[in-house]
Amino acid sequence: MTVRSDLYPPLEPNHSGFLPLDDLHTMYWEESGNPDGVPVLFLHGGPGSGASPKHRQFFDPAFYRIVIFDQRGAGRSRPLGELRDNTTPLLIDDIERLREMLHVKQWLVFGGSWGSTLALAYSQTHPDRCLGLVLRGIFMCRPQEVDWFMYGMRQFFPEVWQKFADHLPQDQHSDLLTHYHAKINNPDPAIHEPAARAWGEYEGSCLSLLPDASTVASFASDPVALGLGRIEAHYFVNRIFLPDNSLLDNIDRIRHLPCVIVQGRYDVVCPPVTAWELHQAWPESELIMVDAAGHAAWEPGIQRELVAACERMKQQLA
């Protein structure tokens, strides 16, 4: 049987709104597709990048009830870039609050990059709420992965890294994360806005196998860069507010769930070794290595395999 592998046509939400989380944060959410279908939860990357309308198109709208939200401080959630009361455990609580509001019993969890981190953390906390996982560009925010992001990507994008590093004085290059974190959180927009743009341009420039000017421009734009740079630095500095190596240590909690891992062979942002290590800890998972691809979800091969994975999941979930 041929499995569809191209994106579904654009569609509009059936419902959307803003869910107050506490006295500070309000979360944007939406649902589209079949109101009576199998629920699927989309978790965006970053942390801090937000979701887009195109993300709805990974899923068959006749089969899936597609739930998308912007995490605290990201995208359309407010306040943008807010770090107070912004931790992984609170994001997990937010997902549960959204699930209860929408009267969802269980859902398929789909996440890429930081979305894969949050998908693992959420599913390990609430395995009974998950039907399975579709993961991309695996990131577990371990110290070696953060160090790779801050310094290792220089091996493949030396000119991009140099521009990123040179936004700071030379004597701060030995600890880019600490000094970027301070600069992005400086109250003066004349200081934090250029720093956030430099961070976003750095990440956006390394996402794709081939140069993609539109991606770089999007990541360096003020609405994306502030949430992305500020929240990523916040989570990196705080080791994602979880015990070291907890996502691998707790994999037995979810090994009974079906899981497809889609990984770009030439992913410079989240190198394939991390996906391989997850697969080794979770041998029941299916690892798909896409040879002609980098990190971005919109790489043709990555996009194709993500749609196909959701199509195959339909057979298990129907």
Active site residues: 113, 267, 295
Rounded CA gap, 226 and 221, in Å?
8
How many other β-carbons are positioned within 10 Å of the β-carbon of residue 7? 16
DSSP 8-state secondary structure symbol assigned to residue 291 = T
DSSP 8-state secondary structure symbol assigned to residue 197 = H
The sign of the CA dihedral 55, 57, 63, 65 is positive
Please, which residues have CB within 8 angstroms of residue 213's CB and are 6 or more apart in sequence? none
3-class secondary-structure state, position 231: helix
Pairing of strands 64-69, 107-112: unpaired
- Sheet of strand 64-69: strand arrangement: 15-20, 26-33, 64-69, 38-43, 107-112, 130-136, 259-264, 286-290
Residue 26 one-letter amino acid: T
| 253 phi, psi to nearest 5 deg | -70, -20
Token representation of residue 122:
């959420």
Q: Are 72 and 86 in contact (CB under 8 A)?
A: yes
Residue 290, strand partner residues: 264
Q: Are 252 and 281 in contact (CB under 8 A)?
A: no
For 49, 216, 255, the CA distances from 271, given in Å and listed in that order, are 20, 20, 23
